[in-house]
Structure 1
Amino acid sequence: MDIVFVILHYTAINMTISSVASIRRYIDTGNYKIIIVDNCSPDDSWRELNVILGMDADIILLHSDVNVGFARGNNIGFSYAKEKFHPEFLVLMNNDVHLIENWIYKKLKQKYEETDYAVLGPMIITGEGSICSSPLRKELLTVQGARRSVRRYYRLLRLNFLGLDKYYRWMMSKFHEHIPQFSVEERLVSHENVGIHGCFMVFSRKYSSRFEGLDPSTFLYMEEDILFLHLMKNNLKSIYCPEITIYHKEDASTDSVLKSSHKKNGFVYRNCINSLKSYLKILTTYEEKENCNGYNGQ
């Protein structure tokens, strides 16, 4: 199999159907499959997906009876694709992501022949027209940096209970200007061994032959940082490739369920805290055990 796309679906059915349509429009090989994993959507969208797409030859529908989060939800599709198809390239993508240009398989293959990458991330155009989503970072998040972030999210969570977190974030933005690690100009050229955005990740057999998907220790957030950590500690290469461009609406699934910004912010803070703690645990394991292989699916 040339390429398998795994789409993690959660409630936003129109986005999922639109994402599938974009793949069908721009895919440049007939040897592909689209696996849609329903992550226990609380609405009727799983049944609707079966009615609309269930008989299509290029579609495989999988369902989880429990919402297992981003990493483990994607891993359902990753494991199925790896076992059934052993694809040359395995793509994990959000259901709010669209392909917007031709020759994706040809470009992925050409880039692999040039760089021997394990994971590739494309240029991402957001709904606001920005290209500043990816790459995320040039170096691994340190223990000190992760601990600072944990303290910050605990502070935001406490303020969220009082309805003051937005005010605090506004104040912090006034006194502490965020300086991105990559300039706009830097995002127009390729980079090796950088952290890539999790909305669209391409895995070659360099990765899929050694790992069973994403690290399953998180529910939501920090998946990219943990992936970057595993790649660097196992001498595997990540590539940011602006020659491939995708469109990302951003947060469609979360927004469709958590309508209240107050509720959504609390959800984000709690999960960021938990995921940062997972990152710290994994990083500490690597630092304590020089030859640690990291997550191996066991």
Structure 2
Amino acid sequence: MDLSVVIVNYGTFELTKNTINSILEYSYPFSVEIIVVDNASPDDSLSKLRQYFNDKVKFIASKTNRGFAAGNNQALKIVDSKYILLLNSDTIVWENTLADIYNYMENNPDVGACGCQVLLEDNSLDKACKRSFPNVKNSFFRLFHIPTKSKDDNYNLNDLDDDGIYEIDCLTGAFIFTRKKVLDDIGLLDETFFMYGEDIDLCYRIKDANWKIIYYGKDKITHFKGASSTKQKPKLIYEFYRAMYIYYKKHHAHESNFLTNLVVYLGIVVLCVLKLFLNIFKKKN
């Protein structure tokens, strides 16, 4: 197999169905398989997906939900394709996107992972699709909306062309096109992360192993993220800030002194508590 597309489903039959159909809608000059990992959905979405797609899609049913990283890893442990695409279940893949990125990877053997332009439902750019690695300094600038002309402090890379092709630090987990050889080299997703942060950690390890990460802005997907004005589940808020803590401790704590680390950890806790408090007053979905 040339390409394995891995999608994790958790109670999102309609969204997952549309994501898969956006891939099956087109033909490709290479072989493609789609593997759906159901993370112990609390509804009948798995049975409905199986009935709808029959033998067009491979399914893995988890007995428990151990998180997004663990769900993906169940498929990654069994695939034997040259390339792997980690794809969110709430996306629509545009025509030519897979073919163009496949060809780019074929022609650039030093590239370990590639992403594309990710558009939100309102057609604005999801800034997470091209970014620098987070650190204490650029996180401070981003948190307090302080403008900077320094490339080192520009987390969202706003100065770079959205339609361009260039090397970056980090992609979004909604769309990561990588080589199996890379995962064989650096390992699978870190299951310490439950839902957030595993994409940043994966990209960090890819770059650390001297592979390039490329933003391919000529092709697109649409990502139906939840609106920021709606109420979030406290569990998701907690996991978001927990991921910050795990990532910083794993990759940056050793670079800083005790006081700096203490300030960072306390900052994460304060932000988490504040977010949980503000979330109380947001409207429900």
TM-score by length of 2: 0.77
Which residue is equivalent to 2:86?
92
CA displacement 1:95-128 (0-9 Å, x = unmatched): 1111111262354233442352111111112101
Q: How does 1:12-91 map to 2 (within 5 A)?
A: 12-29=12-29, 31-53=31-53, 55-56=54-55, 58-81=56-79, 86-91=80-85
Which residue is equivalent to 1:161?
none
> How far apart are 1:193 and its partner, in Å?
3.5
**1:186/1:142 CA distance change after superposition, 3 Å:** same
Which residue is equivalent to 1:278?
246
The CA distance in 1 between the partners of 2:159 and 2:122, in whole Å, is 15
**1:238/1:126 CA distance change after superposition, 3 Å:** same
Give yes or no for contact 1:143–1:283 (8 Å, CA) kept in 2: no
Task: Structure 2: state its 5+ residue gaps.
Answer: 149-153, 257-285
Which residue is equivalent to 1:208?
183
Q: Among residues 99, 109, 123, which one is paired with 1:105 in the alignment?
A: 99
CA displacement 1:66-105 (0-9 Å, x = unmatched): 1111111111122122xxxx21210010111111112623
The amino acid of 2:131's aligned partner reads R
Which residue is equivalent to 1:163?
none
1:4 aligns with 2:4: yes
> How far apart are 1:182 and its partner, in Å?
2.2
Which residue is equivalent to 2:235?
267
**1:36/1:223 CA distance change after superposition, 3 Å:** same
Give yes or no for contact 1:28–1:105 (8 Å, CA) kept in 2: yes
Secondary structure of the residue aligned to 2:162 is helix
Give yes or no for contact 1:39–1:68 (8 Å, CA) kept in 2: yes
Give yes or no for contact 2:165–2:217 (8 Å, CA) kept in 1: yes
Which residue is equivalent to 1:141?
134
The CA distance in 2 between the partners of 1:261 and 1:216, in whole Å, is 28
The CA distance in 2 between the partners of 1:143 and 1:4, in whole Å, is 36
The amino acid of 1:141's aligned partner reads P
The CA distance in 2 between the partners of 1:88 and 1:121, in whole Å, is 17
Q: Among residues 113, 123, 146, which one is paired with 1:119 in the alignment?
A: 113
**1:267/1:244 CA distance change after superposition, 3 Å:** same
1:244 aligns with 2:239: no
Give yes or no for contact 1:69–1:220 (8 Å, CA) kept in 2: yes
The CA distance in 2 between the partners of 1:112 and 1:17, in whole Å, is 29
Secondary structure of the residue aligned to 1:65 is coil
TM-score by length of 1: 0.74
The CA distance in 1 between the partners of 2:173 and 2:105, in whole Å, is 19
Aligned residues, how many?
250
The CA distance in 1 between the partners of 2:239 and 2:27, in whole Å, is 35
Secondary structure of the residue aligned to 1:19 is helix
Secondary structure of the residue aligned to 1:130 is coil
